[in-house]
Copies of this chain bind each other. A is one copy, B any other.
Amino acid sequence: MKLYGFWRSLATYRVRVALALKGVDAPEVSVNLLQGAQHKDDYKSVNPQSVVPALVVDDGAPLFQSLAILEYLEETHPQPPLLPRDPRGRARVRGLALVVACDAHPLIVPRIRSYLEREMHLDEAARNRWLQHWTLLALETLEAHLSRERETGRYCHGDAPTMADICLAGQVLAAGYFDVATRSVPTVERIFAECMKIEAFERSQPLKQPDAPKKPSH
């Protein structure tokens, strides 16, 4: 296997964590999103959407979209499971994951930030308000579920990490990128801290990647 990713990409982070949890080795090829490497022809032949991650698993076309890759890893490397067994629990975990992956993260990625700046001519303050607003809203949605639902345990769903925790952890990292305070989402904060006790979550963090800058600039 080979993972195309970028240190700062939180969608790549999800796949990195899942691979580490499942003990699957997939060397990472860095695609520098900040320099536009995703738009070069050689990467577009890997993923025509010009986004990371993409996972090469065999001779076929690379897999794309982080949650599709997580489901693939779950089906082909079932241990440890990243989804519960019962359909209702699986729906809850997937729902929590999708709150982040659909309704929050796609609003803050480089192509959006670039559009807000170059096409809409919004100043930095307005762009930051956008980034902060949607980042916090997703965390508040997670909090509303996690704080009131009995399925919540040490992690989002019971006492083992799932796809929901992987997405939650990435979303809390996004809050760090954009200086979003997380005091108002204590259950999210607690679960994030639990996740970071697990080596797979901790060592997959953006700033711990070999292609990350020594002195970070977001």
Contacts and interface: CB of A to CB of B under 8 A. Distances in A.
A133 to B, nearest CB: 7
A102 B101 contact: yes
A98 to B, nearest CB: 4
Contacts of A126: 120
A95 B65 contact: yes
Contacts of A63: 88, 91-92, 95
Interface string A107-121: 100001001000110
Interface size class of A (residues with CB under 8 A): 35 or more
A103 B149 CA distance: 28
Counting chain B CB atoms within 10 Å of each CB, which of A48, A57, A91 scores highest?
A: A91
A91 B71 CA distance: 7
A183 B27 CA distance: 40
Interface string A91-106: 1101101110111011
Contact of A57 (B51, B61, B88): B88
Nearest to A48: B144
B71 A141 contact: no
A20 interface: no
Q: Work out how many copies of this chain go into the complex.
A: 2
A76 B87 CA distance: 7
B87 A49 contact: no
A39 interface: no
A145 B48 CA distance: 7
Contacts of A33: none
A68 interface: yes
A7 B92 CA distance: 24
A53 to B, nearest CB: 11
A101 B94 CA distance: 13
Contacts of A115: 130, 133
A98 B57 contact: no
Given A61-B149, A102-B102, A102-B105, 16 more contacts: A48-B144, A60-B88, A63-B88, A63-B91, A67-B94, A67-B102, A68-B92, A68-B94, A71-B91, A72-B87, A72-B88, A76-B87, A106-B106, A115-B130, A119-B129, A120-B130
